[in-house]
Each structure stands twice: as C-alpha cells, then as structure tokens.
Amino acid sequence: MPVSVIIVTFWLALLTVLLIQYFTAEGNDIPGPRGIPIFGYLPYFGKNPHLTFMELRKKYGDVFSVQMGSFPAIVISGKDTIKEALVTSGDDFSGRPDFYTATLLDDAESLTFGTFGNRYIQQRKIGSNVLYAFSNARTNPLEDMVEEEVRRLCEEFEKHEGEPFDPSSAIFLSVGSVLYQICYGQNEEVRNDEKFCQFVEVSGDFSKFTGAGNPIDVMPWLRFVMPWKLFSFLRVLGRLEKVIKANTKEQVESYSDDYRRHLVDGIHKVALEVEANPEIGLKGHHVRSMMGDITTAGFETISTTISWGILYMAANPKIQKKVYKELEQVVGSRCVRLEDKPNLPYTVATITEIMRIANVLPLAVPRATTKDTQLKGFKVRKGTVVLPNFYSVTHDEKIWGDPHVFRPERFLGRDGQLNKDKMDQFTAFSMGRRKCLGEFLARMEVFLFFAGIIQKCEIKKPEELEGYSFKGSFGLTVKSEPYDICAALRT
C-alpha cells in the first residue's frame, strides 16, 4: 500500500474519531459558547483569555462552559463564586487537569501540578512549614540579599547616565539572584557563579516556552502529529531539572544538622525525617521534589510584579514622590527593613495597588474537579477543567469603583492607615487548597525590592515619550509591553 494512502487513511480515521467524540461527548449542563469541532473555543481565546472571559461573562454569567480542545472546562468569575468553589467546596475543585506535559513533571507528583489527595496535603504542609520557618528565622538573610541586589540594580540603572533604557532584564537578574541564594545559599559573588548563570538562562527559556502555551496539553493527540513540540518541551524541562538537581545534590552533600543555611537544608532535614518514619506516607523524593516548585514558582511572578511597579512609578511621578517622602521620613538614609513595613502604609498600599491592577496571574494555574459536584446550581462533572478568572475580582467595579485607575489611596482609610476591609478584598495569591504556598515570602521580597529601588532611585518617563501602554502580554504571567525609563540616583 502506498505511503500516501496510509497517511491519508490515518488522518481520516483520526478526524472521524475526534468528530465523533466532539458531537457525542456528555458535557456539563452549563451555558457557554459552543466553539468548533476538535479545537473547541480555543481559537477564540485571543491574546488575553482573561479579557475574553470578561466579555463572555456579560452574556453567560459567573459560571459558563468552554471547550478547550479535548477538555471540557468552566470559567468561574466574581469573588463570591470563586470563593464558593475554591474554599467552601475546596476539596472538589482542587485537582489538576490531566494536561500531558504536567504528567511529565516529577511523574505528576510535583506540588504544583500533582494530584490532589493525602500526599499533596502532606507535601503542602511540609512546604509551608519550611518556608515559614525560613522567613521567620533570626538568621533569615533575605534583607541582606535584597539590599545587595538593590544596590547592584541601581548601579546598573546609573550606567545609562539618564538615557532611556529597558529595566526588565536587570530586574529579572536581580530577582533571580535572590531566589537562587534563598534556595542554595548566600553568595556575594553569585553573579559570577556558572551554576547561577545556567539557572537564569534555563529559567528564562522555560518561562518563554511554557508562556507560549503547549497545544499538546489540551489536544494530547497532537504529540503524534507534531512531536517536535513535545521534544522541545522535554529538552527545556530536562535542562531545568538538571540544573536544580545538581545544585540540590551539591548542598545536600555538605548538609549539617547543626545549622540551616538555606531552603535546601530545611527541605532535606524534613526528607530525612520522612524517610525515617514510613508511617507518614511520603518518600524522601516527594519532599526533595518541592525544590523544583519553590525554585521556579517565584522567579517569573516576582520579577514581573516589580517590572510593573517600576512602570507605574515612571507613569505616576506624584505617587512616586509620596512613596519616597514616606520612606524618607520613616527610614531615612539607612536601608529598608521588614520591620519598617507597619510604618509605611502608603508604600504598602502602592505595592498592593500595583499587584491588583497588573494582576500577573489572572487565571492562576488551571484546576480540575475531583468528583461530580455542584456550583451555583449547576452540575459539574468530575475531571472538568476549572479556570478561576481572578481578573474579575481585581477589576470588579462593585468592589473597587474605578478598577482601571491606578489609585493606591483605595487601600487607605481616612486616618491614612491601611484599610483592612479593602486589603481583604485583594486576591492576587489565589484561594483555597492551592493558594500560593510562598505568598508570605513573595510579599516580603516585593516589598524590599520596590521600597529599596524607590528609596535610592528616581524613576522617570523619557521626555520624548508621550505615554506608556498598560496592555499586558498573557503568558506564564501577564507581562507589560517593553518600555523604557530614565533613572537617577537620589542625593
């Protein structure tokens, strides 16, 4: 039989099977746009799916269905609906979709993408305890690390001698340096460390690859049609895992139970305890694998948030001046410390407003239902992909009034102190069982970086530039479009 006939027969058979599945599949009895065979509604998601979902919400309400290739999905919007799903019925909505590439990450046992169950609950508890202990330890070197990186960052800004430049790559490098040292140990010469340079390079490649999306995830049959997509992912993933495992192995080999140097020590100590107590139900590799989650999770989100912050300060000089004035009054010429945070309400309000309006993770990581369940009167079948649109919360007119306006004062009371009710409305770190594990550490790092930069540098919009674009680019995170600033050290 000619090869051409075999190929045509294969394609026709595959197309027939997919069409039969599409037209005979039992979907959720939830309203939503139909989409097209095989691809579902994917072609209509657009460059910013969270904004597309905001428009669909106007027609279909806070719960509507979309077909994502081979996967039935629902989009949930509004704080009350999202809270009902992720908190009130948290166990029902805390699974992860069976996306193909997710199954390749630590054999689907990673903390971020692993199956929800007792193992996940124990992993999360261990990870939370280790991060909390590190963040609150007397010997926590985070302040010193960020102080050094802010100094280097401002020196990098100064090299441009007042001329316009894009600060994003320098910010990415500084955030990466701090995260790397948190995980593997403080090192003043970290930027000359070959392993660190490899870490930054491969982390950037991983972000670019995953940010573009992988069609194999939602249409797994494509791995047979376009295997190069899978091979490309495996190459990037292999490089990332190699760097993380090599660094972790080196630190484990020099481990001492007498003191804690970094997160690897904390993770390894718990892994040894788990291995000595089989009744816990975990194995050592379940604990050590969390280094991959911790290392990759905060890099992109923190650097993107700080980049947005610099952009908003350049675009809003009056607000930047207020932040600097408060820092000058409270901190003076010394470096910003975490203990200053309660005395810097306007600075904290500004950071919170940056995270609200930029919302770098509007859809978070997709979830899946763990069993047949209900939401707002609708039956939702087990295995349904769940997309919580947190953008609908951070940009809800009923909550914020003018959600598209950058206004830090919305988080302050009449007394100039933080308004607890408004702060509680802020949901950038997700909700429920899958809420961001490193929220506490991320808030600390963003605060120290942002306050440190504004204390030492005046950020300006180039005179020849009429204005900035605040349209984000959806990917692993929502990044700003490339932008230039001018910077000058404060005297």
d(CA 297, CA 228): 26
Question: Three-state SS string across 319-352, please?
Answer: HHHHHHHHHHHHCCCCCCCHHHHHHCHHHHHHHH
Average pLDDT over residues 294-312: 89
pLDDT band for position 7 (cuts 50, 70, 90)? very low
Please provide the average confidence, as pLDDT, over all residues in the chain. 86
232 vs 381: which has the higher pLDDT: 381
pLDDT of residue 490: 92
Gap between the terminal Cα atoms of the chain = 81
Per-residue model confidence (pLDDT) at position 14:
47
207-243 burial string, b = 16+ CB within 10 Å, else e?
Answer: bebbeeebbbbbbbebbeeeeebbeebeebbebbbeb
With 80 as the cut, is the pLDDT of residue 187 above it?
no
Residue-wise pLDDT for 103-129, tens only, equals 776 665 677 777 888 888 888 888 888
pLDDT reported for residue 281: 65
**At 170, is the pLDDT very low, low, confident or very high (cuts 50, 70, 90)?**
very high
Res 3: pLDDT: 44
More confident residue, 52 or 247: 52
Contacts of 386 (CB under 8 A, 6+ apart): 73, 74, 76, 85, 93, 366, 367, 368, 369
> What confidence score (pLDDT) does residue 106 get?
63
Within a 10 A sphere around the Cβ of 157, how many other Cβ atoms? Answer: 24
457 is in an annotated binding site: no
The answer to whether residues 40 and 385 touch, using CB atoms and an 8 Å cutoff, is no
3-state secondary structure of 395: coil
Neighbours of 121 (CB within 10 A): 13
Lowest-confidence region among 130-134, 239-243, 287-291: 287-291
Superfamily of domain covering 3-489: Cytochrome P450 (1.10.630.10)
Whether residue 59 is predicted with pLDDT greater than 80 in this model: the reply is: yes
**Predicted confidence (pLDDT) per residue in 400-417, tens digit:** 999 999 999 999 999 999
* Mean pLDDT (whole number) for 311-330: 98
pLDDT band at 26, cuts 50/70/90?
low
